[in-house]
Amino acid sequence: MLRLGRREFGAYEAVIMAIVNRTPDSFYDKGATFRDEPALARVEQAVAEGAAIIDIGGVKAGPGDEVTTAEEIRRTIPFIAEVRRRHPDVVISVDTWRHEVGDAACAAGADLLNDAWGGVDPRLAEVAARHGAGLVCTHAGGVQPRTRPHRIAYEDVMADILRVTLGLAERAVELGVRRDGILIDPGHDFGKNTRHSLEATRRLEEMTATGWPVLVSLSNKDFVGETLDKPVKERVLGTLATTAVSAWLGAQVYRVHEVAETKQILDMVASIAGHRPPAVARRGLA
């Protein structure tokens, strides 16, 4: 059982986490939700299309202009408070590696700390414990936030993913983070080249077999683009194919840009797996 905010999710319940970037320089939308009005509209649309989690980030993952802690707080905290006011039951996640931001976000109503940089700030887990929030434990290959991997190599990439994410998860439990609020994430593209991310996907069942809920952040990423030789805006089909494979291998939470399309993929895989009945079943019965 996964418990985040007011929501509980069963073992076979696929969960969509919709991305809302509070940045002027996002790799995907180029700042489309930097202002409040379009960002709030994005939240409304995502919830209507089936997202249970809204993931709010104030710093883009890649290199770029410096964003101070104070600026990250300015971009995210008032917005989190407004989303909480409008949507009491939605799970609010904040995409940050800084404990100061996590602390302010939880005080404003966030339920989940999405630490995409692999515990680079060890105090973030302490914040989650103090507020009773959930925590995403991610493998980032030991790279520093907002840097790209350079000639990175692993003897066994999945073995390293398991070592890091399970270690972070167990440390979080020891600090007092609720066990039913912890997820592990292989960290596609983070500290990995394309072949590493493909292998992490292919071997995802090794993560789901641990019993920890697995979150995958696949949406329009570089490993999809390089695999298919497609620019950012032409990676949706590759993303959805990777989503279907991940769903079949047992991932539970999907951090995405395209909510409606992802929901159809997840529903179809769940029905094939026998975890969800068809929405309509008339064929051959009349």
221: domain CATH number?
3.20.20.20
Residue 79 counted as domain residue: yes
Q: What is the token pair recorded at 179?
A: 């066990």
Please say whether the beta carbons of 232 and 225 come within 8 A.
Answer: yes
**Residues 154-199: tens digit of each pLDDT:** 999 999 999 999 999 999 999 999 999 999 999 999 999 999 999 9
Residue 66 counted as domain residue: yes
Please say whether the beta carbons of 218 and 253 come within 8 A.
Answer: no
Catalytic residues: 221, 255
**Residues 50-73: tens digit of each pLDDT:** 999 999 999 999 999 999 999 999
Please say whether the beta carbons of 214 and 183 come within 8 A.
Answer: yes
Q: Look up residue 140 and give its amino acid.
A: A
Residue 278 counted as domain residue: no
Residue 280 counted as domain residue: no
Residue 283 counted as domain residue: no
Q: How confident is the model at residue 86 (pLDDT cuts 50, 70, 90)?
A: very high
Range of the domain at 242: 2-273
Residue 70 counted as domain residue: yes
Q: What is the reported pTM?
A: 0.97
The count of structural domains within the chain is 1
For all residues of the chain together, what is the average pLDDT? Answer: 97
Question: Which runs of consecutive H residues, i.e. helices, occur in 69-145?
Answer: 69-86, 99-108, 123-131
Cα distance between residue 281 and residue 10, in whole Å:
24
Residue 106 counted as domain residue: yes
Residue 279 counted as domain residue: no
Q: Is the pLDDT of residue 152 over 90?
A: yes
Cα distance between residue 136 and residue 242, in whole Å:
20
